[in-house]
Amino acid sequence: MSDERREVEDSNAEVFQAMQVQLPEPEQAPADTGRGIGTSTLRKEDGKLVTGQARFIDDITLPGMHHLAFVRSPYAHAEIRGVDAAAALELPGVVAVFTNDDLGFESGVPTASNPTGDGKQPERPPLARGSVRMVGEPVAVVVAETRYAAADGAAAVEVDYEPLPSVVDVEKAVADGAPLVHEDIEDNLSCSIRHETDGFDAAVAGAEVVVEQRIVNQRVAPVPIEPRGVVAQFVPASQEVTLYTSTQVPHYVRTFTAVVTGISEAKVRVIAPEVGGGFGSKLQTYAEEFVAVAASRALGGRPVKWIETRSEHMVATVHGRDQVQYVKLYAREDGTIVGLDLHVLANMGAYLQLLAASIPHLTLFMATGLYDIQNYRCRVDCVFTNTTPVDAVRGAGRPEATHLIERTLDILARRLGVDRLELRRKNFIKEFPYSSASGLSYDSGDYEKTLARALELTAGWEPDDGDGRRRGIGYSTWVEICGLAPSAVTSAIGIGAPGWESSTLRLHPTGKATVITGTSPHGQGHATTWSQIVESELGVPFDDVEVIHGDTAFAPYGLGTYGSRSLAVGGTALFKSIEKVREKARKIAAHMLEASPDDLEFADGAFSVKGTPDKAKTIQDVIGAAWSAADLPEGVEPGLEETTFFDPPNFTFPFGCHVCQVAIDPDTGKVEIERYVAVDDCGRVINPMIVDGQVHGGVAHSIGQALFEEVVYDEDGQPLTATLVDYMIPTAVEIPPIETHRTETPSPSNPLGVKGIGEAGTIAATAAIVNAVCAALDLDHVDMPLQPERVWRVLEGMEQARRVEASPMETKGGGVS
Ligand code: MCN
């Protein structure tokens, strides 16, 4: 060691000084690198995704790892008389077969939803005990040396079932004498959520027109590109477990893994590596996660892996929507809407998953849409059936709301013989904040503006049926609730989870920044947009910001990514951490500049003395000073790192207008979307390109629901759409060019002025498409999906479609509460 070096080691101060000398010259704050807020900066996430360097669950291989395969029920409802694993255990490579009792669970699969406070929440063991209540319910798990051996083992396990009567349809499930899904729940109802404004009956008594319509919002499957998967490794000596899982909510998975397995929460580490899409379905804690952890524990710490097959996905991962809605809309002859009476039968499936009844509760909240409807009565019955649980799928309760109100508005316009856009304008909410009849406070909006912009953009559209096809234009003027929070409200409406979000901002001695976010992106581009916020607000260049997420060992507790909340809540948590860092940095800069903190201004990443711009310190200068700590103002701690937990005062309410033109082939019933224009308002925009991408994806999702997708069960509860051959999701061929446009109405709910956009397209689009088809066919209503056969039957006037067209509430025996 040189003398010089020895000298350095002698004094801490000198060490810092010496190291500081070795630091690269701090980069100067960018005046404008063009990658801050408001720019369409390319996504920094994409390099590894498009070059195959990203790591998904199935890329993870641990030494000595075994594989799991689940034995799943082939019956919709049956008693389990016995499980015989002898033949499976004889097979080469099969190591063990576990049933629920072998795995030492301390509770069942959790739900965090109880909107009425007294909802029936049947216990659901991770592996079925005593009986099964849906096709695909896991009964046992096979551990084997290879995935193939595990699959062979699962096929060889013999389960003795005694089939029981089952019910799959919500209307049948609530009828007298229906088979019971849970023997102790006599009406198949988990809960009935009710809301009624004062004096409802008197207020609607004077209505001159009443539109009644039964609307089916059919069951859909989420179908992300990557199905679910887990890798778990338990360490017996320390009683720790690491769980890699394809999830949107790693911290919830950690908490519930602790609850279900009894392992200390502090010893559970959950990692969400790259997640290949979720669309709401990975906002869950699933039986397979708990089983994998418990299996690794039962095997003395051997790591295990399970990767969901596509057919498993179609029965074992939650489904979405599945509501039958009885709508009654009251109006005056002049088009003023007087009141809305809504009864929803919401299919919960066989068990409650994480959000369960809270999903149709969101339908209740948003069913009056962007119209000033002050008289409102709604009843949502959450019904058990022998089917896969229904929970969040992109939009989660809000596409169902938009669809029903936008469909009913078009029917009302036909009934009154008035222009459907005039009818909308007449009833638009015009002043904000607006107290809705369902008890919400809409933060900001300008519904005329998005409609006007959409009309400007579609002014030249003139449906021409010169080629023999029938054409129509449909409109959807929509609003949604997102940015899920505030915690006091989520708690008050029976969601047993808060709504805040966290972020840590850490500045490194080299002037670079790490953001640790509690959100858990899986395609939304948070690394990019969070870096844009740091560049604009702190002056650390976009490329110098690293964003870490999805690992509970590193991050403060975070609630994850769902409900289009990440920017409005998590992005704001980051903004607030930046503010805290800036305030501390201001004190240090003032000390360095021998000025008062109040005399400094911060712009373009530098503090300067007001009126003397050349007396300045960049944020990078300050980061170095905070780290070296050689000369800090009194009372200021070294380092620049801040954490924020942000709980917003309100939700955000994005809105917009979507317009769609369809052409229908009368010979085949095939619907083609010829043009699609989306004008959305999500407040201030961080990255316009990402927002466009989210809208594209969201609209594509709803094109799937409007035209193609439906999960179908037969009478006995056998799924008829358990593969992608039977369940059609649209490909690029079916998705038309989607034109996206925006207006910007800032939200007062957060300092960035932002609202969510991740679900907007999905929430808006089905109504625009079905309204266009109904306009083309000149009829009141037809239910989704508008597959060629259904449309052809409408055109041919065949019985099934006539029933739908002629307001089938009488024929179906349903009623409005
Ligand atoms: N954004 C923006 N300016 C705004 C609003 C949003 O730049 N005014 C950016 C955000 O910074 C973020 C993205 O747009 O990068 C989406 O933000 P946000 O609306 O906050 O939504 P979340 O990030 O919370 O995403 C959740 C939402 C949901 S609920 C589903 S479901 C969904 C979706 O996002 N699933 C997706 N988009 C998806 N995209 C992909 N690729 N895969 C999924 O599974």
The reported pLDDT for the residue numbered 806 is: 55
- How is 491-502 classified by DSSP, letter by letter? HHTTBSS---EE
**Residue 633 per-residue DSSP state:** P
Residue 271 pairs in a beta bridge with 244, 551
The reported pLDDT for the residue numbered 674 is: 95
- Contacts (Cβ under 8 Å, ≥6 apart) of 450: 477, 655, 656, 657, 679, 680, 681, 743
Burial-class residue 545 by CB neighbours within 10 Å (0-12, 13-18, 19+). buried
Which helix (H) or strand (E) segment holds residue 160: the answer is strand 158-163
DSSP three-state, residue 255: helix
DSSP three-state, residue 49: helix
Pair 563, 391: CB distance under 8 Å: no
Please state the atom number of ligand 1 nearest to the C-alpha of residue 483.
Answer: 20
Please state the atom number of ligand 1 nearest to the C-alpha of residue 690.
Answer: 14
The two three-digit tokens of residue 538, written as one number:
């702190």
* Helix/strand/coil (H/E/C) assignment for every residue in 384-441: ECCCCCECCCCCCCHHHHHHHHHHHHHHHHHHHCCCHHHHHHHHECCCCCEECCCCCE
Pair 196, 796: CB distance under 8 Å: no
- Helices (DSSP H) in 446-522: which residue ranges? 447-457, 487-492
Kindly give the distance from the C-alpha atom of residue 764 to the centroid of ligand 1, in angstroms, as a whole number.
Answer: 15
Tally Cβ neighbours within 10 Å of residue 587.
19
Kindly give the distance from the C-alpha atom of residue 462 to the centroid of ligand 1, in angstroms, as a whole number.
Answer: 34
295 φ/ψ angles, rounded to the nearest 5 degrees: -70, -40
Which helix (H) or strand (E) segment holds residue 697: the answer is helix 688-703
The reported pLDDT for the residue numbered 4 is: 45
Please state the atom number of ligand 1 nearest to the C-alpha of residue 760.
Answer: 19
For residues 46 and 53, what is the distance between their CA atoms, to the nearest angstrom? Answer: 10
Cβ of 680 less than 6 Å from ligand 1: no
Cβ of 149 less than 6 Å from ligand 1: no
Kindly give the distance from the C-alpha atom of residue 700 to the centroid of ligand 1, in angstroms, as a whole number.
Answer: 15
Cβ of 692 less than 6 Å from ligand 1: no
Kindly give the distance from the C-alpha atom of residue 566 to the centroid of ligand 1, in angstroms, as a whole number.
Answer: 7
- In this structure, the residue with its CA closest to atom 14 of ligand 1 is 691
Please state the atom number of ligand 1 nearest to the C-alpha of residue 568.
Answer: 20
- Helices (DSSP H) in 493-600: which residue ranges? 526-538, 572-593
Kindly give the distance from the C-alpha atom of residue 694 to the centroid of ligand 1, in angstroms, as a whole number.
Answer: 6
The reported pLDDT for the residue numbered 798 is: 41
Kindly give the distance from the C-alpha atom of residue 561 to the centroid of ligand 1, in angstroms, as a whole number.
Answer: 8
Cβ of 522 less than 6 Å from ligand 1: yes
Kindly give the distance from the C-alpha atom of residue 757 to the centroid of ligand 1, in angstroms, as a whole number.
Answer: 6
Pair 338, 375: CB distance under 8 Å: yes
For residues 442 and 622, what is the distance between their CA atoms, to the nearest angstrom? Answer: 41
- Contacts (Cβ under 8 Å, ≥6 apart) of 65: 231, 302, 303, 304, 305
**Residue 350 per-residue DSSP state:** S
Kindly give the distance from the C-alpha atom of residue 398 to the centroid of ligand 1, in angstroms, as a whole number.
Answer: 16
Cβ of 567 less than 6 Å from ligand 1: yes
What is the block-wise mean pLDDT of the chain (817 residues), using blocks of 10 residues?
42 36 41 81 96 96 98 98 98 98 97 96 97 98 98 98 98 98 97 98 97 98 97 98 98 98 98 97 98 98 98 98 98 98 98 97 98 98 98 98 98 98 98 98 98 96 83 97 92 93 97 97 97 97 97 95 97 98 98 97 95 93 96 97 97 98 95 97 98 98 98 98 95 94 97 98 98 96 97 78 52 35
Pair 112, 497: CB distance under 8 Å: yes
- Contacts (Cβ under 8 Å, ≥6 apart) of 36: 532, 535, 536, 542
Q: Name the residue among 567, 557, 574, 577 with its Cα closest to residue 521.
A: 567
For residues 461 and 476, what is the distance between their CA atoms, to the nearest angstrom? Answer: 16
Cβ of 759 less than 6 Å from ligand 1: yes
- In this structure, the residue with its CA closest to atom 34 of ligand 1 is 758
For residues 589 and 595, what is the distance between their CA atoms, to the nearest angstrom? Answer: 8
- Best mutation site among 275, 564, 565 for ligand 1 pocket (most ligand atoms within 8 Å of CB): 564
- How is 763-815 classified by DSSP, letter by letter? HHHHHHHHHHHHHHHT-S--PSP--HHHHHHHHHT-HHHHHHHT-THHHHT--
Q: Name the residue among 135, 310, 279, 391 with its Cα closest to residue 726.
A: 310
- Contacts (Cβ under 8 Å, ≥6 apart) of 453: 657, 679, 741, 743
- Contacts (Cβ under 8 Å, ≥6 apart) of 223: 279, 313, 724, 727, 729
Cβ of 526 less than 6 Å from ligand 1: yes
Cβ of 575 less than 6 Å from ligand 1: no
Cβ of 279 less than 6 Å from ligand 1: yes
Please state the atom number of ligand 1 nearest to the C-alpha of residue 525.
Answer: 15
Kindly give the distance from the C-alpha atom of residue 568 to the centroid of ligand 1, in angstroms, as a whole number.
Answer: 10
Kindly give the distance from the C-alpha atom of residue 756 to the centroid of ligand 1, in angstroms, as a whole number.
Answer: 7
The two three-digit tokens of residue 228, written as one number:
């679910």
- pLDDT, tens digit, for every residue of 568-593? 999 999 999 999 999 999 999 999 99
For residues 752 and 740, what is the distance between their CA atoms, to the nearest angstrom? Answer: 22
- Contacts (Cβ under 8 Å, ≥6 apart) of 3: none
CA distance readout (Å), 355 to 222, 325, 674 = 15, 20, 37
For residues 553 and 559, what is the distance between their CA atoms, to the nearest angstrom? Answer: 14
The two three-digit tokens of residue 784, written as one number:
């989704």
For residues 316 and 151, what is the distance between their CA atoms, to the nearest angstrom? Answer: 16
Helix axes 398-416, 420-427, angle to 10 degrees: 120
Kindly give the distance from the C-alpha atom of residue 688 to the centroid of ligand 1, in angstroms, as a whole number.
Answer: 12
Residue 307 pairs in a beta bridge with 229
614 φ/ψ angles, rounded to the nearest 5 degrees: -80, -10
- Best mutation site among 49, 529, 567, 695 for ligand 1 pocket (most ligand atoms within 8 Å of CB): 567
Amino acid sitting at position 283: L
Cβ of 742 less than 6 Å from ligand 1: no
- Best mutation site among 694, 754, 755 for ligand 1 pocket (most ligand atoms within 8 Å of CB): 694
The reported pLDDT for the residue numbered 460 is: 85
